[in-house]
Structure 1
Amino acid sequence: MKFLSKAAVILVVTFLSLQTLTAQNQKADAEDQLSLNSGTIDNQFEYIFRKSGNFKGTNGQKYEAVKFSSLLTLKAHVLDSLKTTYASLANSKKTVENQAKQIEELKAKLTNTQSTLDTTNDEKNNMALLGMQTSKTNYNVIMWSIVAALLAFLLFFIYKFKGSNSSTRQAKLKLEEVETEFEDHRRTALEREQKVRRQLQDEINKNKA
């Protein structure tokens, strides 16, 4: 039991020692990676801070000493970074303006397309009738109304034609009857006239005798 406790203590101490060594190595690596001529501006400032020296003034106050050449180099890097940033911002602004212009052009094209589509739908849904645009429903109603009116007129014409034809046939029959009666009457009148003439001639012949 005591042996297990000692072994556990040894393992814990060993683990903590390894953790400490790992942290120190990581810190050393991080310090080695810092440079004044590479990395981000934040890393370059961190490099300046780490490389600055401490000293006490005559009044006993602590001061941080930084190389002037390092400050000039850092300044140049900051200015270059700012120029790059400003150039990037200018390019971004130009890109945004171009995109805004393209968006406006697309909106205009979309409006024109929508207008053309509306016109096409109107032409599709409407029909020209006597120079006026009307919906297909109204057009169909008007056309079927015209067809119904023409059909009714045709039926009325047929009815009147049949009536007129019947009246004509009846008139012809009556005319034939009248002609027959007239012919009979004329024949009868002719026979009477001939009879009267014979009687008159007989009377004349008697008187001569």
Structure 2
Amino acid sequence: MRVSPKPMIMKSIHLPLLVFSLALYIATESQSTAQTNASNTLRDQWTSMINSAESYNEYKIIKLTKLQDFRGAFNDSLNSYSAKLAELKTESAQLKTEVESLKSDLTEMSNNWQLSKSTNAEISFLGLTFRKSFYNALVWSIIALLSIVVFVMYSRIKRVCSVVKRVKGAYSRISDEYRSHRYQATEHQIKLKRELQTALNKLEMAE
């Protein structure tokens, strides 16, 4: 029994996809965690800066140094986000390349499987290529034809043997009858010779 290669192909492709999906998930989770931490840091700095600022009517008086510190932290976070975004774009491009490669491998494996399936469906005989179904039908047809020929020949041989047996029986009977008739004829001739000799002897004695 031949084992089909299709489950092995799907297994070999599912494993790399699982690895890449896991890597993408980890990278996404790491980025999400980093973004959350950065957002919390900025939010804490903003809250601290607002709470420590002096109030004037409806306004808050924020020291320039604190505002510059917050701006620096904001720029750092923005640069970090930009770097992470560029990194994710690179990883996305790499994953896209890997996916395309896997698609190409899948296509090649599928073609090889189809070729193997087509090859297994054909058979070569006397330099000619036949489909297995046609070859099997041809072989069984030849076997059936040979069986019919053998049956006919056997019937004819059996009939000839019967005729030969009858001829031998008839020849045996004729031979027996011929030998019996010849024996009787010989006995009759001997008897006639004896009678003739007796008659001659009587004539000689009479003279």
User: Which one scores higher on RCO, CA 8 angstroms, separation ≥ 6?
Assistant: 2
Please say if 1:188 is aligned against 2:185. no
1:156 and 2:166 are equivalent in the alignment: no
Once the 2 structures are TM-superposed, how far is the Cα of residue 168 of structure 1 from its aligned partner? Answer: 1.4
Q: Which amino acid aligns with 2:172?
A: K
**Matched residue, 2:147:** 147
RMSD between aligned residues: 3.6
Q: Distance in 1 between matches of 2:192 and 2:99?
A: 123
Q: Which AA in structure 2 matches 1:160?
A: V
Task: Please report the TM-score for the alignment, with normalisation by the length of structure 1.
Answer: 0.53
Aligned-pair identity (%): 7
Counterpart residue identity of residue 139, structure 2: Y
The CA deviation string for residues 125-184 of structure 1, in whole angstroms up to 9 with x for no partner, is x9x89xx96522222211111111100101111111111111111111211221121111
One-letter code of the match for 2:138? Answer: N
Instruction: Compare 133-142 and 69-78 and name the one that shifted more.
Output: 69-78
Aligned residues: 141
Q: Give the alignment of 1:10-25 within 5 angstroms.
A: none
Counterpart of 1:103, as a letter, is K
* Structure 1 residues 70 and 183: CA distance shift in structure 2, 3 A: same
What secondary structure is seen at the aligned counterpart in 2 of 1:135?
A: helix
The Cα shift of 1:114 comes to 2.9
User: Deviations along 1:78-118, whole A, 9 cap, x unmatched?
Assistant: 44333212211111111122222222223333333333334
Q: Which has the larger radius of gyration?
A: 1
Long gaps (5+) in structure 2: 1-38, 44-66
Change beyond 3 A, Cα 1:93–1:80: same
Distance 2:193 2:111 in 1: 106
**Residue 185 of structure 1: how far off its partner (Å):** 1.1
Amino acid in structure 2 at the alignment position of 1:96: K
- Runs (5+) with no aligned partner, structure 1: 1-34, 40-66
Distance of 1:197 and 1:184 partners within structure 2: 20
Corresponding residue number in structure 2 for 1:115: 115
- When the two structures are superposed, what TM-score results if normalisation uses the length of structure 2? 0.53
Q: How far 1:72 sits from its partner (Å)?
A: 6.4
* CA shift for structure 1 position 70: 7.5
Offset at 1:75?
A: 5.3
Give the Cα separation in 2 of the matches to 1:73 and 1:137.
83
Farther off after superposition, 156-165 or 188-197: 188-197
Cα distance between partner residues in 2 of 1:79 and 1:204 = 172
Residue 113 of structure 1 aligns with an amino acid whose one-letter code is W
Comparing 100-109 with 144-153, greater Cα deviation is found at: 100-109
**Hey, what does 2:86 align to over in structure 1?**
86
> Aligned equivalents of 1:90 and 1:201: distance in 2?
151
